[in-house]
Amino acid sequence: MDPKMAEAFRFVPYGIYVLTTLREGKLRAMIVSWVSQVSYHPPLLMVALRRTRDALPAIRESGAFALSLLRIEQKPLVALFKGPTSRPGFTDLFFEAGERGARFLKEALASWECRLSSTMETGDHILCIGEVLTASAAQEGKPLSTTDYGKSYIGQS
Cα(134)–Cα(93) distance, rounded to whole angstroms? Answer: 22
- Contact, 132 vs 102, CB < 8 A? no
Complete domains list, the chain, with CATH:
14-138 (2.30.110.10)
How buried is residue 127: exposed, middle or buried, by Cβ count under 10 Å (0-12/13-18/19+)? middle
Condensed to tens digits (0 to 9), the pLDDT of residues 104-121 reads 888 999 999 999 999 999
Identify the three-state secondary structure at position 124: coil
How confident is the model over 5-16, as pLDDT tens digits?
988 988 888 999
Task: Name the residue among 147, 135, 124, 123 with its Cα closest to residue 45.
Answer: 135
**In which band, very low, low, confident or very high, does the pLDDT at 90 lie, cut at 50, 70 and 90?**
low
Q: Please count the helices (runs of H) and the strands (runs of E) in the chain.
A: 4, 10
Per the confidence metrics, is the pTM higher than 0.85?
A: yes
H-run or E-run covering 47 = strand 44-50
